[in-house]
Amino acid sequence: MRKNIVAGNWKMNKNLQEGLELAKSLHEALKDKTVNCDVVIGVPFIHLASVASSIDTTKIGVAAQNCADKASGAFTGEVSAEMVASTGAGYVILGHSERRAYYHETPEILKEKVKLALTNGLTPIFCIGEVLEERESEKHFDVVKSQIETSLFELSPEDFSKIVLAYEPVWAIGTGKTATAAQAQEMHAFIRETLAGKYGREMADDTSILYGGSANASNAKELFSNPDVDGGLIGGASLGVDKFMPIIEAF
């Protein structure tokens, strides 16, 4: 059975003290609650170790927002998947549209990152999604299919079973313009069919597919009520417990 997951993506926000405070407050808010989803927070690299050791990571998973496409060596400024895993983080967000657009991450690079994440026991939260122009010219299905095929379809079934997908239409990220529940469902169902075509129905049904892009407390319930939407990757609304908790509780 696939899991429901609500994952925060803090992006480049919060200094270390602020980040620790947010993680601890979220931990406190979740302490005596039973929720119907796994909760993950995607934090800047330098927060990983401190955040992971200040909360119970079986209650709140910790994610990096990136990792290197090389295992180790002379790559100044890079952070390897092994380093991420050694902090106590269990997840890594890969292929976010901001990384693809601003840091020129190609499907080939992402393929290497996914492999290294898996080798080091991290769960990749792999992001896919079209830009506005691609949707308007009705290429969105092809674009998303190709993003999945080029970076993930060489994985063995065993490795693929560890992947979480996040569909994030780029035009909805940070814009306040959410995909409608129907648009999200349509794409998520298409993604699941694409997975079924490669790895079989059971694997497709077991893969968690999150929606991301201006998800918030007021639209989360409707988005999550779709049969193929298994949670959210939440940017802006993950930066405060007051905004993030209602999304977690939308399940």
What is the smallest separation between the CB atom of 125 and ligand PGA, expressed in angstroms?
9
- Give the CA angle between residues 126, 211, 16 to the nearest 5°: 65
Mapping DSSP onto H, E and C, the string for 108-160 reads HHHHHHHHHHHHCCCEEEEEECCCHHHHHCCCHHHHHHHHHHHHHCCCCHHHH
Contact with ligand PGA (CB under 6 A): which of 60, 173, 209, 248?
173
Contact with ligand PGA (CB under 6 A): which of 40, 64, 128, 215?
215
- Check if the beta carbon of residue 125 is closer than 8 Å to that of residue 92: yes
Residue count, binding to ligand PGA (CB under 6 A): 13
Secondary structure letter of residue 3 according to DSSP? P
Question: How many angstroms separate the CA atoms of 6 and 164, rounded?
Answer: 11
Catalytic residues: 96, 168
213 binds ligand PGA (CB under 6 A): yes
Site string for ligand PGA, 4-33 (x = CB under 6 A): -----x------------------------
Stretch that binds ligand PGA, among 58-66, 102-110, 222-230, 232-240 (CB under 6 A): 232-240
Which parts of this chain interact with ligand PGA (CB under 6 A)? 9, 168, 173-174, 212-215, 233-237
